[in-house]
Amino acid sequence: MVGAWVASGVLSQICAVRDHLSAAERKVADFVLSQDPAEVSMLGVKKVSEASGASIATVSRFSRRLGFESFSDFRFALARESIVGIEPAADEPTALATDDLRQSIDAILKFKTDEIIDTVSGLDLDVVQRCIDAIFSARQVLFASVGNSIPISMNASFKFMQMGIHASCPVNTEAMSLESLLLEKDDVLIVVSNSGHSKRLAAIIDNAEDCQAKVIVISNDETSPLAQRTPLFLKAATRDRALTGQMSFSHNSTFFVLDMLTLLLFRHAKDVRERYLLHWKTARDDKGVPNPLLS
């Protein structure tokens, strides 16, 4: 039987867990990411072993690490994605071509679009609804991130405030940790972490749990320690490694998840227009342009 996450994209899952694989398993991962999924799905375990430079046992172990019972199930998932069109066809761009700017741009567009498709396909609608309900009923929503995820969280907290939700994102993890100690029962902590492996964020989750606050985690990897801390997990799929081989830097799908939450909150938020007009009144001298809601 295929793993339960397959609908969110086999390639996205490989990209998410690659750093946590053994050196031998990474050889298999890198081989799969460098090939057309439809072609890999036609290869036997021996062929993949020879092409990747890993043993047959390693190829089988790699498949199990991804949540499959066997390499055969892994091949089936790749074939299924190719058939239903989740993966690019053979004549579509699949990798960066340094000597062809248009092909490179088309490849990036294809991979970024597929990230959003993978993210939407993997959403558990019950979890999304529980996240919305928790945010609406919270007295305070605290965002916590590290590194270059902090600006993403700050942007989301600003949008939440436009919805009338008391949200905040301090500028560093020390301030986040202090504010997490001030959370109360049924408040919400939203953790945004690409890898899901930050020990500093784990400590902030500890504080939130001690306060009986609800915890939402947005990450690329559902097997990560932070993702395992809460049932309110939203996966933001990534395919960076399929393009770059090593680097994982994009927040494309994370932005989508946060914008999705904002727009779903907007559906039920009260007095959003009036709140926006009040905000514009305080900022109009700085903006220097007419209010779009009044024009």
Helix residue ranges per DSSP H, 122-212 = 125-137, 150-162, 173-180, 199-210
d(CA 118, CA 8): 4
CATH for 6-86, among 3.30.70.1450, 1.10.3720.10, 1.10.10.10, 2.40.50.140?
1.10.10.10
Average pLDDT per 10 consecutive residues for the chain, totaling 295 residues: 45 85 91 86 86 91 84 79 52 56 85 88 94 95 96 96 92 97 97 93 97 96 89 88 65 95 84 67 65 56
Is pTM beyond 0.75 here? no
Angle at 87 (CA atoms; ends 84, 91), nearest 5 degrees: 105
Contact 59, 48 (CB under 8 A): yes
pLDDT at res. 253: 93
pLDDT at res. 8: 47
Chain position carrying tokens 């046992």: 57
Q: How many CB atoms lie within 10 A of CB 73?
A: 17
pLDDT at res. 89: 41
Tokens of 29: 């991962």
Cβ neighbours of residue 122 closer than 8 Å, sequence gap 6 or more:
5, 7, 8, 9, 235, 237
Domain boundaries, the chain: 6-86, 125-278
Q: Which fold has domain 125-278?
A: Rossmann fold (3.40.50)
Decide whether 6-86 matches 125-278 in CATH topology.
no
pLDDT at res. 20: 87
Pairing of β 188-192 and β 167-168: unpaired
